[in-house]
Every structure is written in structure tokens, then in C-alpha cells.
Structure 1
């Protein structure tokens, strides 16, 4: 279906390599996942696979590609602007270069719970919710004549029911599927080949890995390899330090003898011995340069909530009784009953448009007015809290104190931020880096209550286990809106579903 030889991709803006010497064969029926941190070039590589012209305005590349397909379908992260002004009728029944299978169109609409009578609506696509925009693209693109599917973050705006449907579709379709995803559960269910794009050594060096494995095997093998290399590198350094210590004692002994020897013949022998000692030092320097490199992973998140003073376990954080969830003039849920205690970890799920984010925002505003303690908050839309013109250092420091600045810089370095990035505008950071900033702010503020809206959506799948561990170890209360099934199962004590009838607790086994 597709063959790539020795591809290197470089971003023209800063001449940063995104992909290095990638060679790859994609066979018919393969399910290929592109993974990596935000900003590492996954979307650019996906587009390049379709057509070089889609990225040539900002990407330099060397290498060859052979495409053995005629038609492809592409669903991007966001609805293209050229489609926003179309009506549903124009979108589904307008001119098309490819044949549409109308039987499949209606079948997919039914399976995705999208009313097929709306196909002929005059409603603009721009007026649809994020989940509906993705659903109509799935319905349309999967019904077209196509050889290969390209999907960029298809799980981002889908509710759990639709996400599970898409998993089954990818598992069962004979078509080749190449997709970008951060969702671990989705990857485990679908991927048969992994392309991992990394930027290591403070994001200065691109590393590209290809493995024909399912995601669970890839992730475990990667972690095992990291631990083996780390153990070997540490053992070699320990042994090298022992040799240096022995050599240092010999050096000191010879120096002492040189200073206290006055016999000319003995002096020549001691000088010869000193020459041998100095030669050995040069050999040790060469040995140090040849030691196994300490492994690095850009997705490592070394953060800990060390200073949390938990509130009493049964202290109510908030209690809603017959609460009307309303946005503007629209009542989303007439009556919500909800009690949230000081050491509970609660997840909220629901269909697209049910009001999950709105409920979390309203609870956040109420707690800001009522609570005597600080509230940690991670919105789904990061600009709600982040000033795009400020630097990470500005965002995280509250005084010009040099000690505080160094402490923050040390934390940022542990999250793979360079000192330059710490002083660049936040607007220049990737979504994953901005998410790390919000995490770090919550850690530094040591708030006993955290409100999180899709907290894992911009972290790479390989960093998500560390994010989950951070929240598992948190001693306070967490209220999280999420469709990340692994997060809900591992972090949350309870999970509630929000619909028009309010909040209903569900068993985690149902996720």
C-alpha cells in the first residue's frame, strides 16, 4: 500500500528535525498508529504520506515514497474551514469525485446514532458540536470509495459509545488505516504497527522508531529496554568510578614518592611510573566516552504532590440539590443531585453536548467564591488559564526571587523544558507542553482539590502512565471529566454518567 525509504523531515521555521531516516512498509490491512508528544510532527507525517504538497510550505524533506493507492479518506483533528460554511445537505449530497455508497451512509448514521433525516438539513456544519462534526465526517468518509483511511486524533471529541464503535470498525475493516492517537485504550484495541516520533536531549534530537507490534507489547518492550539500558549505564559508571578512585590513590602515592625522592636513579624510575600513571588517565578518559549512554525519554514526567494537606475525609467539597445546569438560555439538565467529598476521586462521562465541561466550570466558579482553600483547575481549553504572551516562567513564578526562579526552572527541566523554552511565549509551546505547565502549577500550589477536564488528552500515550500515577498518589479530592477509560479505571473511585436525568453512578466494568 505504501513504502517509505530514508525519510527525514525538517521544520523550516527553526530547522528542527521531526523525523530521522524513517523507512517503512505499510501493507494492505495494516493498522498503523503514529504516537509521540504534541509538536513532534505526527500530523505533518500523516499529511506527507497522503501528498507531499500538503506540507511542502513548511516542511523540508528528503527520501522517497511509493503510494500504491488511488483514493484515500482523511479526517483531520478539526473540521476544515472550507467545510464550515456548508450545510448538511451540501456536505452529504454535493458534488463528489468518488462514489458514495448510500446504503453504507444510512447504516453508519444509524450505528452512530445520527438521524439520517438530518442529511438534507440546511444547518451549517459550523453550528454542530465537536462530536457531531467528527461523526458526520466518519459517516461520509467511510461511505466513499477509498483504499486507505488517514485519521488524525479521531478519539479526541468522541463519547465512549462512539469511540468503542470506531475501535470495532478499525478492528474489522479490511482497509488499511493510519492514525494519530493519544488514547492508550484505543491504541491497545486497534494498532498492529507503531511509529513513535520522539525529540530527545532537550528536544534537540529526533528519534524515529518503527515496530510491528500491538501497542501493549510495544509499550512494555520500550519500558523494559529503557530499564535495561539504564541499569547497564549505571553499573558501568559505578565500575568506572571505582577504577578512578583506585587510580586516584595510586596517583597520590606516586606524587608523594616523587616529592620525597632525592636519589637520581630512583627519581628516573618514579618519573617513568608517573608517565605510566598519566597515560592510564588518558585511557580512562577514552573509556568514559565509550560508556553506555544514559537513556533519555522526552515523555518522562517526574512530578509529585509532596506538600498536600488533605482536608478531612468526610468534609463536603460541594453539594448540589436540584441544581439546574444551564448555559445561557438553554437548560441542559433540569435537576442535578451531586455530593463531592474531600478525599474522593470522581470521574464524569457523558455523550457529546451533555454538559460535562459546563458543569465542571460552574462547580469551579462556585468553589472559587466559597472555598477557603485553593482549587487546582485544568480546563479543556488551555487559553482559559494560560496567557499566550507570557512565558512558562512568568506563569509559574509569583515574585522576582532568584531562588523561586531556579526552583521552577529545575521543575521545568525535569519535564524536558529547555531554559530557552522556559522564557519563550506560551503560544510557541505544543499542547502537551502547555498541559505539563498546568500540571506543574497544581503541584507547586499544593491545592487539596483538583478539577480536571480531559486531563490526559494532550499527553503522549507513553507518558500517560506517569500522569495517572501522579493523580493516583494525590492525597486530596479529584473531580475529572474524561473519556479516557484507563484513567477512569485506575484513578477514579467512582464514575458518574451525565445525561438529561442528572448524574447516575455506573460500574467501572461497564466502561
Structure 2
């Protein structure tokens, strides 16, 4: 159990966390969300003992083992498998003792240590470590290579594998998906769902939070608020809470205006002086309710160049790679105005290689790349931020591209990416990874492309910026090709998929859920993707059906639809009833939480009242969990019936 008791934290003279009370029970999986700088990483530092609370206490069950991802990666001369095994310090200590006993010829001690080795699952340790590495995308032949042979992103994957391998009761993960592709993300999601301990997860990936977490801890204006929900439910519940708070604020403002008017009119009158003083005291006691603030500071759009070509870009019989043999063979595809394509495929299959070939940055080994007359490319690479001039400001980056643009025009544009005031003129080298990514996106948007090629554009972006990018892409009128592990972005931004696998590029017949199932099948068999032979500019002519057979089919479909609707009615009724019950319980919980926020409750004379409210909150929490379980079961049954 993790308990916060009136815990408060101050950093740099500013409060990060105001006195908070909450309990995280064993086995819960908690997603931690909030704006950048709100204190999410500081909360981890508190739990690790790297920071001390300025008030209250953080209590963790005695003896609980905590695993977390280290920021610095050392031992780069170790093989990646040994690096992962080093995460289990107790196991490594036993192995060293076994070596010492062998060298000393102490057979009795050696036999004892073999028993300890079994206690630490030492005989399965190496296969378990290798399984973690392969799950996170490493190839079997890479497992004996040194850590130094891999790039920074792959070292972070090895670091994540080491963290997962470390025996733990509490697991702290800070943005573990940043360097993962979809395959590894699917695998990690399932691993975390099966993790038996308590998970605290900081993530900006809403689908990942939904798939893993059953609680959301929100940093809300220096308050810690724990929701018994996944991320999507949290968003709905928070929207209701904010709307309720705004309504209360409006009501309070009206009451405040009445009191102030009374005081102003009757303060000087002897007959009304006492009433005026009474109302002044009421005004002093009236707590301020913060106004409903904007959810996100980011509101930008990507305008498309008004000139187009058909096709915009095509590859014909292209062999793509860096040397023979090619990574992708005989690729034939066309990109037309309005195309919205998501690239899928196993790790290392060549998705980024295809994007580079489309941009022209990677010359074809053979075949032809043809640009339309009016093609205007916007390209975001995985490491786009590394190409920025760290000494230049965001303003200067754009001014170099468009010297004729006015200062106000550039500043107004950058404001949509939350570079306001002096921030627009600050050196990019001072920025965080997320801020640099925003600069890179701003440079692309400024150019008004008619074809966007985006390779992992959400790396380093927080939830608000991801949502702004998703919205901007939905409104973008040009063509889009995206590689991304952010499923929410992909679902909202593309309408069809191409699969890059086995040296081929072909249409994928399905959605992201189908792709996840295909990956599982691929892992257990030699089956190929559900893909068509090649990508053509236009589809083949359909077979002609007779009108009579078509009408009969439609009548049959209508009958089947009607039967299915009847079958779904009781399931929908059960789901809606559970949802209504959840809503009612959440409102009751909000009232209790508000009453528990009264500081006078914590005095000695109010102990009985505090105990009563705490018990009520516990009972409501249990009832809410039951209602949520009923809702989940009804929703799953409904989804199964609709398949």
C-alpha cells in the first residue's frame, strides 16, 4: 500500500503539491497525468527517497521492492542480456558466491547456494531476460552484442527490459513507450496487464493508459486527485467535474456581487451597519473557486498548399535500402491528394526506410521515383529535433525560411505552438525534448505542404500537444503518411493502412485491432499478413452481380440486422443501467470528497464525523468498483455480440 497523508511538496519556492490525502492499494495500476512541470517525475523522486516531503508523509508498505528506470545507462561494455540480468542484484550476488565456492572447493556451501539460486529462479533467468529483450524488439542474434553497439533509443529499450526484469512489488515507469514501435508497445501493454504488483505509470499515450491502468492520478492545479477509472473514463468524469465547478463558480460570483452591493449601499447607515459587517465576514469566508481554464494552450492548424498534382508522388518497381540486398523489393505505389495512410509492420521491416525513400533522402537502389509537378513535402523524421540549430530561436528558424514575413505574423503563428512572448526568441538549445518537437512541427506547418510524411511525430509530445496534433491532422486537407506507435493519433488521422513486411509493401485489410491479432498469429506461425499483392493507383474492376441477387442479399442483411438489434437490447440496457449507477455513485463520491476537504474536520472534536465520512467514502468506493465491473462485463458482452 502507498499512502499520502497531508503530503505537500515545494520546489524552487513554488508549491508543486498542496496537502493531499490518498491511498493506492496493492496491485492497482495507476496512470499519472498532468501538464509538463506539474510534478509527476518529482512524485517518483519522493517515492525513491531522492526528495523529501515539505509537509505530511508518504508511507509505503515495509519491505516493498521498488523498480524504476535509471536515467543514466552505464556498463556499456556488457552484452545486453547481461545488462538485463544485472537488474536482479540478489541473483547476481548468489551467482558470485557460487563462483567463489567453486574456486574454494567448498562443496557444502556450493550445494547450499544452488538451492538459493533456485529460490531466485536463477535457472530460468537468462531465458526470461532474452524473452524481455525480444519482446521489446531485439533480434535473437543481437542478444550477445554489447550495449555500446546500439543507438540511444535501443539502449533505452534495454534499460526498460532491465527494469521489468528487476524483482519488484512496485514498478515506476516514466514514459516507457517513447522509443517503442507499435509491435513492442503491444507486447509491453500485455506484459504490464499481467504484472502482479503495483504500477505507477507516467505516459502521454491515452490508448496505452486505457489498456493498462485501472486508476488515474491527476495533477490538477497542485492537487492530487485519484480517479477510479481508465483514461477515457477519467476524461469524461473530469469534464463533468469541471463543468460542475464552473457552474458553482458562476453561482458564487452572483452571490458575491449581491453581498458586495449590500455592503456598498448600507455600510454607512447605522441601522444596517451590523448586517453590513456580517456580510463582509461572509465575503471573507467565501473561498475562491478557480475559473474553468482552457484545457490546452495549443491551437494550431496545418494549411495545405492549394496546388496539387495527381499523383503527388509515386514509386515504380523500386528496390529500397542502403546496399544490396534491398530492404524492400519491387515497391509499386502512388500517393494521391487526400490519401491518409498509416504504415504498419514488424520492427525493422523497413517503415522508416520507406519514408526516407519517399522523401528522396534515400536514393533508390533501382526503379523509379516520380514527383508530381506541384508536390510540396513536409517531413518529420524520428530524430527531427537533432537537425535544429540549437543556438537559434524558434522565431529565427522561421524567419530564415521566410525573410519577407513580418515579426507579428511569425509571433502569432508560434503562439499556436505555445511559444509566446520571450519564449519565441529563446535559444532552442534551452528547450526540453517536447519543446524542440513543437519547433520542428511548427517549421513543417509553416511551409504549407500538400503531402505530410511523419515518422513517429509524437515522441516527446505531452497529451495536450498530441491532441492538438491529432486535431490539426484531422483538418489538414493534404495527403498524409504516418508511422506512429500512438494508436489514438493513427485512428483519428488515417483511413487505411499499408503493411511493410517480408520485404514488401502492400495494403493491409483491417484496422489496428486486426493488426495486433496478425502480429500474434505471425509470432506463432509462418502466416503472412492479410495484404493484397501490390498497391495500385486504382482498384481492380469489381465483379458484376445481378440486381435480383443484390436485392435478396439486402433483405437478408436487414433481417440479420433486426435480429442482432433485438439480441443487443438487454445487453445495452444492462450497460446503460451500470453507467447510470456509476454516475450516481460518482456524484455522491464528489460530495464526500468536498466535505473531506474541510480542514476543520481534522480537529480532535470532529474525529467521529471524519471517521463517518471516511467510512462512507470507502463504501462508495467499493460500490463504484462493483458498478464499474458490471459496466465492463456488460460492455465486453456487447462488443462480443457485435463482432
**Matched length:** 453
Q: Which residue of 2 aligns with 1:30?
A: 28
Question: What residue is the counterpart of 1:90 in the other structure?
Answer: 82
Cα deviation, residue 29, structure 1:
0.4
Deviations 1:220-239 (A, max 9, x none): 222344456667878999x9
Contact 1:89 1:120 in 2 (8 A): no
Partner of 1:213 in structure 2? 229
TM-score w.r.t. the length of structure 2 is 0.60
Match of 1:223 among 208, 219, 239: 239
Shift of 1:27: 1.6
1:19, CA displacement in angstroms? 4.2
> Is 1:332 aligned to 2:327, yes or no?
yes
Q: 1:466 to 1:120 in 2, by over 3 A?
A: closer
Cα offsets for 1:10-68 (capped at 9, x unmatched): 555xx66554445442221011112234454433432332231xx68xxx965532232
Task: Tell me which of 55, 61, 64 is aligned to 2:57.
Answer: 64
Pairwise CA distance, 1:483: 1.7
Sort the Cα spacing of 1:466 and 1:387 in 2 relative to 1 into closer, same or farther, 3 A: same
1:183 to 177, 199, 205: 205
Q: How do 1:98-177 and structure 2 match up within 5 A?
A: 98-99=90-91, 100-101=120-121, 102-103=123-124, 106-107=127-128, 109-110=130-131, 113=134, 122-128=144-150, 133=155, 136-137=158-159, 139-177=161-199
Residues 468, 116 of structure 1: CA spacing in aligned structure 2 closer, same or farther, 3 A cutoff?
closer
* Cα 1:92/1:117, change in 2 over 3 Å: farther
Root mean square deviation, CA, Å: 4.2
**TM-score, length-normalised on structure 1?**
0.74
> Cα gap change, 1:410/1:107 in structure 2, threshold over 3 Å: closer, same or farther?
same
Of residues 396, 399, 403, the one that matches 2:398 is 396
Aligned to 1:47: 45
2:505 corresponds to = 503
Tell me the secondary structure at the aligned position of residue 57 of structure 2: strand
Q: State the shift of 1:474 in Å.
A: 0.9
Deviation at 1:375, TM superposition (A): 1.9
What's the secondary structure of 2:27's corresponding residue?
coil
Q: Match for 1:487 among 486, 489, 493?
A: 489
Per-residue CA deviation, residues 78-127 of structure 1 (Å, 9 max, x unaligned), is: 7x331323223532555952235343652574476469996996511132
Partner of 1:73: 67
Identify the structure with the greater strand proportion: 1
- State how far apart, in whole Å, the 2-side matches of 1:418 and 1:309 are: 29
User: How far, CA to CA, are the matches of 1:351 and 1:445 in structure 2?
Assistant: 32
CA distance in 1, matches of 2:236, 2:87: 47
Secondary structure of 1:324's match? strand
What is the alpha-carbon distance in structure 1 between the residues aligned to residue 303 and residue 154 of structure 2? 42
2:319 equivalent to 1:320:
no
Whether the 8 Å CA contact 2:87–2:166 is kept in 1: the answer is no
Instruction: Check the 8 A contact 1:131/1:352 in 2, yes or no.
Output: no
Whether the 8 Å contact between 1:37 and 1:459 is mirrored in structure 2 is no
Identify the match of residue 311 of structure 1 among 308, 323, 326: 308
- Counterpart CA distance in 2 for 1:48 and 1:327 is 47
Query: Among 437, 445, 449, which residue is 2:451 paired with?
Result: 449
Q: Which digits, 9 at most, give the CA deviation of each residue in 1:351-374, with x for residues without a partner? A: 333332233233223599986443
Deviates more, 1:104-113 or 1:388-397: 104-113
Cα 1:110–1:16, aligned 2, differ >3 Å: closer, same or farther?
same
- The answer to whether the 8 A contact 1:85-1:124 is kept is yes
Deviation string, structure 1 residues 290-312 (Cα, Å, up to 9, x no partner): 99654224634212345642625
Contact 1:106-1:116 at 8 Å conserved across structures: no
Mapping of 1:155-304 within 5 angstroms?
A: 155-197=177-219, 208-226=224-242, 293-297=290-294, 299-304=296-301
Matches of 1:39 and 1:85 in 2, distance apart? 35
How much does 1:214 deviate? 1.6
2:132 and 2:161 in contact (8 A); partners too? no
Distance 1:207-1:411 versus aligned 2 partners, 3 A rule: farther
Q: 1:117 to 1:394 in 2, by over 3 A?
A: closer
Distance 1:322 1:338 in 2: 9
Mapped to 1, the partners of 2:31 and 2:45 lie a distance apart of 14
Separation in 2, partners of 1:116, 1:477: 33
Cα separation, partners in 2 of 1:137 and 1:294, compared to 1, 3 Å: same
Name the SS for the 2:312 alignment partner: strand
Cα displacement (A) at 1:389: 1.5
Q: Would you say the 8 A contact 2:399–2:405 is kept in 1? A: no
> CA contact under 8 A between 2:216 and 2:228: conserved in structure 1?
yes
Structure 1 gaps of 5+ residues are: 199-204, 248-282
Given the superposition, is the C-alpha separation of residues 224 and 317 from structure 1 closer, same or farther in structure 2, using an over 3 Å criterion?
farther
Consecutive unaligned residues of structure 2, counting only runs of 5 or more, are 92-119, 262-279, 362-368, 516-643
User: What's the CA shift string for 1:443-464, capped at 9, x where partnerless?
Assistant: 3332211111212233333553
Q: Corresponding residue for 2:425?
A: 423
Q: 1:346 Cα shift?
A: 0.8
- What SS does the aligned partner of 2:477 have? coil
- Comparing both structures, which one devotes a greater share of its residues to helix? 2
User: Greater relative contact order (Cα 8 A, min sep 6): structure 1 or 2?
Assistant: 1
Closer, same or farther: CA 441–159 of 1 in aligned 2, 3 Å: closer
